[in-house]
Amino acid sequence: MSFELPLYLWGALAAAIPVAIHLFNRRRAERKRFAAIEFILRSRKNLIRRMKLRQLLVLLARIALLVILAIALAKPFTHTDRLTSFGGMTSSATVYVFDNSWSMAATDGTTSNLERARERLQELLRRTRGDEMVALVFASRPASAPIGRLTYDVSRLRESLASVVLSTKETDMLGALRLADSILSKAPAHLQREIVVLSDHSRHVWSGVEAPWGLGAAPIVRFESIAPTSSRENLAIRTVAVEPAPDVSPQHFNVVVTIANYTKRAFFKPIEIEIEGRTVKGYLDQPLAPGKAAQKRFLIKVESKGDRVGYARIPADALAFDNEYPFLVRQNRSISVLLVNGAPRTVPYLDESYFVSLALQPRADARTKVRLQTIRPDELATQSLTDVDAMFLLNVAALPRSVVRRVVGFVEKGGGLLITSGSNVTPDYNSVFRELLPYTVRGVKIVVDPRSPEAKLRALLFGKVDSRHPLFRAFSPGRRLLAGHTSQFLLLERRLGDAKVLLSFDNGSPALVERRVKAGRVFFFTTTIDRDWSDFAIQSGFLPFVHQIARVLGGGTRVPPPTSVRVHSEYPIEIDKNVESVVVHAPNGRVKQFSSSHWGRSRRLVYRDTALPGVYLVEQSLSGSRRRLVSRFVVTLGHSDSDLRPAELSEVKKRLRLGSSSRGTTLARTPPGQPKQRLNLWPFAILAVVLILFAETALAAKR
């Protein structure tokens, strides 16, 4: 037996007060014999003996009353294996912290740790008395409380427990303890506060967890460990990284698999890579020691275009979740460029599109592959623009209004347009292309005759550059890659819309201007793209300049969305032009559909329903066509919960500031048997005081 307030035991000395009073009030009268009285006294000797006994009992009752009252004020308590209900006994307010994170899926071959924890909590709830209050907290990140208030209704916890499922989130034990402490802070004062944690108590559960208690005393904390040793042997695939291998070929990729060993034995078993129906096996260079991590590199070849899904696998163990890791191989994005040749020639180098076509020829090491198609202006009326990302109007004369409307619609839906100058570009453009032109055209400015000896000296050079624009970010600052001599250019007059100058000549005249038209953009180059008005086409900066224009207009400069995200993270879906709806297929077959109202002008859809790990399929439906653009992304689990090695509870005790020296706190790793519980004895003492007080009153009042 122990006492919360032992100083009150000094009050037991007050038991001497009734004795002193009794002795003080005891009177001895002078004895004188009187014959008449002598007879009466002899006849009442038995009555006198009974009176003395009653007085002695009253004295003892008063002594016991003061002693027991002092003991009651000292609040005695003890610990017992079982608490039985009795009037006035203090009951408990208990918050059960239930770990439903994905590490609880570990099994010994028959039953998962989650099911063991469920069965154990059901057993504890069956033992709960009617005068005890309970609540329930889930420890998966972020910690949540399905039963967030203390209640006497145990059936509510049973219902929540029956419906609990394994979460794909990691453990948030610190948040769970904070939430449990917050719930207990609202418990009635007469209830004993207690937290019961049901978990596998692996290292990751208690990593970084410190004392979360508020200003008050810490509650009693009890650990229920339900993980058998056989469910702790785990190997895990931490990450899979995919890197292009251009030194081999554009179709080759390096797949780097990171393996972690959380068992007690060295790991030296095969690692598998499966992609496109082919399986490749490999081994680590040496056995992987317990507690260590290592990488295995595979070189694979992907024949098909588009997104290809692969899987990395290791042999089965206690935790199946981290034995397979999906990954995505995404080849370089390609864009479609349509060249409209306004001045075709039979001599190749005199053709308007000759130098542009050479610059945009596919290259194996290019960041963005270009699919090129060249047509004449009269073919534009019937040309399908569905698959076109960027259109180059190369010295094209004024087009019919019906064709211009097609071009305007193409740009407004997100297409990119480049207009280059030449002899066919006249002030008639101001009326024909009024919805697209960044500036109105005044006319041709001849700087110098390119055939004169002084042509290069008097020709214009490129001057000021808007280096913040995506078009010029690829060019190193300070390096003059945009070299070239311009002998003629178009003078621009009035600014239209939100047009701005991206590149100027050294005399201040605009060389390249831009205008945004709804979802698309237009570039206007005020000199020729061939050698008629400028020699820029034969300079070293021409090729990267044209490539960058194609990438900007075709969307190739956009940062590609990631191939994978963690569970419960947002995934950005880039919406292509002419897309009217998007459908996302989750790994469990669930389908979500989105319309243009979900992405607006930004053309970016943020997908948030990533609770399941696996491969997600995205289908973008084009307006006016049955064709669909298909892409994929992967959702993966965090790897911290893979470490199932048991935590050192003694260290946890120190960090949580728990122990026998801390008043009101205990730390016990209880066996499956009934746990020790605290039993307050002072209510019994108070009851005894009341009973003795009644007895003393009855004895003292009796005549």
pLDDT interval class at 39 (50, 70, 90): low
Burial of residue 82 (CB within 10 Å: 0-12, 13-18, 19+) is exposed
pLDDT higher than 60, residue 671: no
Residue 665's pLDDT band (cuts 50, 70, 90): very low
What single string gives the DSSP state of each residue in 681-699? -HHHHHHHHHHHHHHHHHH
Domain parsing of the chain, residue ranges? 2-26+33-78+684-701, 82-218+646-675, 235-332, 334-554, 564-636
What would be the CATH architecture of the domain defined by 564-636? Sandwich (2.60)
Q: Radius of gyration (Cα) for the chain, nearest Å?
A: 43
What does the pLDDT read at residue 266?
93
**Range of weakest confidence among 120-124, 410-414, 513-517:** 410-414
Q: What is the Cβ-side half-sphere exposure of residue 213, based on CA atoms within 13 angstroms? A: 17
Interacting residues of 165 by C-beta distance below 8 A, sequence separation 6+: 100
In the predicted model, is pLDDT for residue 123 greater than 80?
yes
pLDDT digits (tens, 9 = 90+) for 280-329: 999 999 999 999 999 999 999 988 777 899 999 999 998 998 999 999 99
pLDDT in tens, 223-237: 988 888 877 889 999
Out of 129-138, 166-175, 497-506, 555-564, least confident range: 555-564
Task: Lowest mean pLDDT of 33-37, 125-129, 450-454, name the range.
Answer: 33-37
As a three-state string, the secondary structure of 495-544 is ECCCCEEEEEECCCCEEEEEEEECCEEEEEECCCCCCCCECHHHCCCHHH
% of the chain with per-residue pLDDT over 70: 86
For residue 273 the two structure tokens come to: 């890579």
CA 55 to chain centre: 78
* Per-residue pLDDT tens over the stretch 413-423: 889 999 999 99
Torsion, CA 148, CA 154, CA 160, CA 162, rounded to 10: 160
Q: What is the mean pLDDT of residues 425-436?
A: 94
Whole-angstrom distance, CA of residue 467 vs CA of residue 105? 54
Mean pLDDT, rounded, for 374-388: 92
**How do residues 125-158 score in pLDDT, each as one tens digit?**
998 888 899 999 999 988 999 988 999 999 999 9
CA 579 – CA 558 distance, rounded (Å): 17
pLDDT band at 397 (very low <50, low <70, confident <90, very high): very high
Q: What is the pLDDT of residue 526?
A: 97
Cis-peptide, bond into residue 287, ω within 30° of zero: no
In the predicted structure, residue 662 carries a pLDDT above the cut 50? no
Whether residue 112 is predicted with pLDDT greater than 50 in this model: the reply is yes
Which residue is listed with tokens 């000292």? 74
Q: Which CATH superfamily is domain 82-218+646-675 in?
A: von Willebrand factor, type A domain (3.40.50.410)
Q: Is the pLDDT of residue 365 over 60?
A: no
Q: Other C-beta atoms within 10 Å of 478: how many?
A: 5
DSSP SS3 for 668: strand
Q: Of 255, 269, 250, 236, which Cα lies nearest the Cα of 310? A: 255
**CA–CA distance, 471 with 473 (Å, rounded to integer):** 6
pLDDT of residue 109: 83
Q: Class of the 235-332 domain?
A: mainly beta
Give mean pLDDT, residues 643-651. 88
Q: Is the pLDDT of residue 383 over 70?
A: yes
Confidence at residue 57, expressed as pLDDT on a 0 to 100 scale? 79
The residues with which 199 forms a beta bridge, in sequence order, are: 225
Which pLDDT score is estimated for 668? 35
Q: Which of 99-108, 279-288, 302-311, 450-459 has the lowest mean pLDDT?
A: 302-311
Interhelix angle 682-701/45-73, nearest 10 degrees: 160
Q: Please report the beta strands in 596-645, taking only residues with DSSP state E, as ranges in sequence order.
A: 604-607, 614-622, 628-636
Say if residues 517 and 436 touch (Cβ distance below 8 Å): yes
Model pLDDT, residue 580: 87
Q: What is the pLDDT of residues 59-84, one digit of tens each?
A: 787 788 788 888 878 778 776 644 44
Cβ-contact 237, 258 below 8 angstroms: yes
Q: Provide mean pLDDT across the span 236-242.
A: 94
Residue 465 dihedral angles phi and psi, to the nearest 5°: -125, 140
- pLDDT at residue number 110: 86
Report, as an integer, the average pLDDT of 409-432: 93
pLDDT in tens, 158-201: 998 888 888 888 899 999 999 999 999 898 888 889 999 999 99
pLDDT at 84: 45
Residue 237, pLDDT score: 95
Is residue 449 within 8 Å of residue 491, measured between CB atoms? no
CB neighbourhood size of 219 (10 A) = 25
334-554 shares its CATH topology with 564-636: no
**Going by CATH, does the domain composed of 334-554 fall within 3.40.50.880?**
yes
**pLDDT value for 639:** 84
Structural contact between residues 439 and 421, judged by C-beta atoms closer than 8 angstroms: no
